[in-house]
Amino acid sequence: MGEHKKHTEFLKQCLRYDESGGRRKLEQEIIQLQRDEHCVQRAAWLMAVLTGLALAGLAYPEILLANFPYSAPQSFVDIVYVLGVGSLISLLAFVSLGMVYRKKLDQRREECRRMVTRLLESRLGNTSATPWRERPASDASRGTVRVAGEGNASPAGFESTAQG
């Protein structure tokens, strides 16, 4: 399971704690978009395989047969060309459609994040989004201890205030 799908499943699990009607609608939209995206991905793979087979069908006689244009029936060549061009056009269409579905799914995930954030804020209260920062524990220990402070939550945002 990919990271994108894992995050979506996590958000859907978090969303299940909300009893509002909007939650159910959003969850159904996410499920439908995931199905559509998966279907388009399978169709795109099929078109990629058909394009590869068409290329192989044209390359095989060209490479292995000395008199290819004269030995192969023209209808066979025409069918392979049509199959190759049609599957290539379809592949491009399915890839584009897959990108549209992914964009819609990302929008629904963002709505889901906002809804989960509102749910958590309503149940747990508003948090003070202050990350940890290191401060001296005491003069006796001369060590450092992490306390809530200002700045960002990244490890680069930590300050060492140990006296030494």
Q: Which of 42-46, 75-79, 103-107 bottoms out in mean pLDDT, i.e. has the lowest?
A: 75-79
The pTM (predicted TM-score) of the whole model is 0.63
Provide the pLDDT for residue 15. 77
- Are 135 and 117 within one domain? no
- Are 74 and 97 within one domain? yes
Please provide the DSSP assignment of the chain as one string: --HHHHHHHHHHHHHTT--SHHHHHHHHHHHHHHHHHHHHHHHHHHHHHHHHHHHHHHHHHHHH-TTHHHHS-HHHHHHHHHHHHHHHHHHHHHHHHHHHHHHHHHHHHHHHHHHHHHHHHHHH-------EEEEE--TTT--EEEEE-SS-SSGGG-------
Strands 144-148 and 132-136: antiparallel
- Are 67 and 37 within one domain? yes
Confidence band of 41 (pLDDT split at 50, 70, 90): very high
- Are 63 and 98 within one domain? yes
- Identify the domain containing residue 162 by its residue range: 129-164
- Are 100 and 145 within one domain? no
Does the structure show a pLDDT above 80 at 110?
Answer: yes
- Are 111 and 30 within one domain? yes
- Are 15 and 70 within one domain? yes
Provide the pLDDT for residue 16. 77
- Are 111 and 147 within one domain? no
* Total number of domains in the chain: 2
